[in-house]
Structure formats: structure tokens, C-alpha cells
Amino acid sequence: MILVSLFVGVICFIIGLLLLKATWQQLLVGGIGFVLLVGSAALMIGNDTNHWGMHKVTYEKKENISSLMTDKRMPLLVYEPIRKSDSEKVYIYRHLNSTKDMHTQASLKTKNRVEQRGTKATLKTTTTYWKMNAGFWKFWFAGVTSQRRFSSRENKFTISNNWHILSRNQAEWLSKTATAKEKAGRSEIKTVITQNVEKAVRADPTMSKKDQQVLEQRVKSQVEAQAKQKATAELQQLVTEAKQQSVH
């Protein structure tokens, strides 16, 4: 409707100034056209820049998330600096029970917050829109502008205290280093088991094959339990070292 008003204003203004001969007709028709023209333009500019005739509406969405690292001993919330910035970043996460990486929006109108508390990892997204008022404003701007405009978004991550926050570069370093140590650890476990069984056999050459197998299983359980404790401590140390790596 506002386009019709704008068009009528232009026509009246032109007719009033150029086609009508009587002065009072020029002033009347031209004045009406000028008021319609200026008024319509002012409403369009005000709506576009200051959201005249609109009000804010907010939508919230909350979901459980999971770490990019499958190892439950070191859940991670990973971020990626934008253009190597130290303040602007997007966060990378996964939906619960999903293996697909998701990320927050790279936008000046999007804010990300992280809180460490509780026992669950969640993401609450609060999105705010400008929505056209009903009645006069909706009728006046029908078909001219969007009835709903994006205003702002906030992503709030809530994670427990055992989570760690690393950049993508730091997380990749951690994953690569942890994998290498795990591989070396498996080789070491196998060597230790073999050495212990061979030592026991040398001490008792009459040990049967069945007894050797039982001994091997017992030694394996003991060595793996010790290795698990050691690996957990080493993993915490690796996380500390990862945080010292460059974020870029």
C-alpha cells in the first residue's frame, strides 16, 4: 500500500506543478502530492533504519551436545578463530549421538557465551527478530518489506567443569599426539606381557601351556589396569600442553 501512496504522491506532485493552471489548484494538488511523497518516503526510511511499526520477538532453542573427541576422558568444546582473530570465533560441536560437526554462525549479530557448571553439556540458542505490527503497519507495508527481520542471536554453551576449551589447531595437536602415545602404549603393553610370561616360564620350566595361558591373561589384566591409570594421567598432561600450543 505504501508504494501506491508513493506513486500517487509523485503523480499528484507532477500534475500539480506542471499541468494545472490555477494557482490554488497547483498548491492544493501539488501540496497533497508532496505530503504523500514525503510521508511515504519517511515511513519507508523509518521502517528500514529504525524499525518503525515493528516489535521484537524472541525464540529459544535448547539441545544437548557432545564433544568432538570420542574419548570420554577429555570432552572438548572446540572453537575456530575468524580470520586469525583473538576475539572473534565460531564454536564447533556435535549434536548428541551424532558424528557430524556443527558450528555457530560467523556474524557480527551473533554472540557466543560459554559457562562451565552442572553435569550436562547443552547449547541454548536465543534468536531475536523484528516483527511487523498488526493492523495499520502490516497493511501499509504488505508486499513491500519482510514481515520479520533477523535482529540478533546468542549461543550459550553450558558445559561441566571436566570439559576443556581448545582451538581447532590445539585440538588437532592433542588428537594427533594422543593417538601416537596410545599406539606406543599398546606396543609397550604387549612387550611387558611377553616379558613377564617368559620370566615366569624360565622360573618354572614345567609350567603347562594351559597354565601359561592363565598366567598371560592375569598379567594382561594387571598391566592393562596400570597402563590405563598411567594413560589417564598422561592425557591430562597432554591437555595442559595442548592449551600452550598456538590457537591459530
Domain of residue 71, residue span? 54-162
**Measured between alpha carbons, how far is residue 33 from residues 21, 29, 141 in Å?**
16, 6, 19
CA 99 to chain centre: 15
Grid cell at residue 100:
557430524
pLDDT of residue 170: 92
Q: Which of 77-81, 135-139, 213-217 holds the top average pLDDT?
A: 77-81
pLDDT of residue 157: 97
Average of per-residue pLDDT across 50-70: 92
Q: Does residue 156 sit in the same domain as residue 183?
A: no
Top-confidence residue, 99 or 155:
155
Grid cell at residue 194:
611377553
pLDDT of residue 195: 80
Contact 110, 91 (CB under 8 A): no
pLDDT of residue 224: 75
Top-confidence residue, 213 or 82:
82
How does the average pLDDT of the chain come out, rounded?
86
144 pLDDT higher than 80: no
Beta-bridge partner residues of 60: 126
* 199-248 confidence digits (pLDDT tens): 777 887 877 778 777 777 887 787 777 777 777 788 888 888 988 998 88
Q: Does residue 181 sit in the same domain as residue 152?
A: no
Which residues, other chains included, contact 214 with Cβ-Cβ below 8 Å and sequence gap of 6+? none
**Measured between alpha carbons, how far is residue 234 from residues 33, 104, 123, 139, 206 in Å?**
80, 31, 30, 67, 40
Grid cell at residue 28:
492544493
Phi, psi torsion values for 99, nearest 5 degrees: -110, 5
Q: Does residue 126 sit in the same domain as residue 182?
A: no
pLDDT of residue 158: 96
Q: Does residue 69 sit in the same domain as residue 128?
A: yes
Q: Which of 61, 62, 239 is nearest to 162 (CA)?
A: 239
Grid cell at residue 208:
603347562
Q: Does residue 60 sit in the same domain as residue 151?
A: yes
Q: For residues 224 and 227, give the distance between their C-alpha atoms in angstroms, rounded to a whole number.
A: 5
Average of per-residue pLDDT across 56-84: 89
CA 45 to chain centre: 34
Q: Mutual orientation of helices 23-50 and 2-14 as an angle, nearest 10°?
A: 150
Q: Does residue 108 sit in the same domain as residue 147?
A: yes
Instruction: Tell me, yes or no, whether 248 lies in a domain.
Output: no
Q: For residues 34 and 11, give the distance between their C-alpha atoms in angstroms, rounded to a whole number.
A: 10
Least confidently predicted of 95-99, 128-132, 226-230: 226-230
Number of folded domains that form the chain: 3
Q: Provide the pairing of β-strand 148-159 with 110-116.
A: parallel
59 pLDDT higher than 90: yes
Among the three residues 115, 132, 162, which one is the final residue of a domain in this structure? 162
Beta-bridge partner residues of 103: 92
pLDDT of residue 173: 92
pLDDT of residue 22: 81
Q: Does residue 198 sit in the same domain as residue 152?
A: no
Grid cell at residue 168:
581447532
3-state secondary structure of 69: coil
User: What sign for the dihedral angle of Cα 18, 5, 149, 132?
Assistant: positive
**CB neighbours of residue 40 within 10 Å:** 21
Average of per-residue pLDDT across 85-89: 78
pTM: 0.78
pLDDT of residue 208: 78
